[in-house]
Every structure is written in structure tokens, then in C-alpha cells.
Amino acid sequence: MHRITLLAVSATVMSHVANADIVRSGSFPERYTGTWVADAGAAPDNPVIVLSAKMYFSSQATCSAVWVSQTASARGSIYSAHLQCLKLAEGGENKTMANLIIWPETVNRIAVGSEFTSLKIYHRCSATCESQRNNLLAGGVSDESQPHSGSNVGSTVGKCAQGC
């Protein structure tokens, strides 16, 4: 009987230890906020994304972070975001849920995608892009918890690739 109790206590303690390296927050880490452009080999049009504290912008969607999990790995933390998105092609009327993985290589280079098998490398944009990002946020798309539709999001994000 003593062994069964010891086994049950050990299993309980071990399950808490396994979850101790995952930290959940409501926003992206500040060091990864900014404008990011895909490496030249990733796609023909070099997609651009913008990360702010609680928002993710791309040419396809505007998303707000529901939660962001940070998980330890051998190469550093991996961030997994659960997002609520409005697809710009649909006029921003239907909210959908999406997942986004951010796996930093360096402070200026990250791998981003919805699955580990589809991660694309992005690098941080120049100060020119950062000024475009600030104009984007000031021009009707707020950095709040709910995404807003806006036709200027996709066009402004797309133009940033030229300045990066």
C-alpha cells in the first residue's frame, strides 16, 4: 500500500514538473514586435508581417492574440499564439481562429508559420518599415485585443517589403 501511495504522489509531482516550462501570456514578447519581411527564397513577393503587443498583421489577415504560450527549447523559447482573425479578402466580416508559431533564431531573425512543417524565415525590417508600421497602427488599426478590418492594412504592409 505504501508503494502505491508513493507512486501516486510521484506521478502527481512529475506532471506538474512537465508543465512548468510553459508560460502563457496575453501578448507577443516586446523584443519581437515590429515589421518582418520573409527571406528572398521564401516566396516570390517577400511577404511582410507586423507584430505588435497584441496584434498580428499580414496581407491576408488582421489578428488579435487571444493568448501566447512560451515554451523552452534547446535553441531558445518557442512562442505559440492562438489568434482571432479577420480575413481581408472576405471584407473582414467573419472571425476565424488561427495558430501562429514564432521560433526565434536571433533577435532580428525568426521562423513563423502555422505549423512546424511550414515555418518561413523572416528578418526584422529597417527603420523605414518601422515608421510605416507606426503609421499603420495610427491609421485606424488599433493595438487592442479585437482585430479591426481596414483596407489600408494589406496595402501598407505590402509596401513595406520595398523598404526592407
Quick: pLDDT tens for 90-105: 776 788 999 999 999 8
pTM: 0.66
- % of the chain surpassing 90 pLDDT: 39
pLDDT at 75: 80
> Is residue 12 classed exposed, middle or buried when 0-12, 13-18 and 19+ CB atoms within 10 A define those classes?
exposed
Query: Which residue from 104, 112, 115, 122 is spatially nearest to 160, judged by alpha carbons?
Result: 122
Neighbours of 69 (CB within 10 A): 14
All residues at 6 or more sequence positions from 140 whose CB lies less than 8 Å from its CB, including other chains: 148, 150, 152
Q: State the pLDDT confidence band at 21, using cuts at 50, 70 and 90.
A: confident
Partnered with residue 123 across adjacent β-strands are: 37, 109
- pLDDT, tens digit (0-9, with 9 covering 90-100), for 127-148: 555 555 555 555 544 444 444 4
Q: Which run of H or of E encompasses 62?
A: strand 61-71
Distance of alpha carbon 39 from alpha carbon 5, whole angstroms: 55
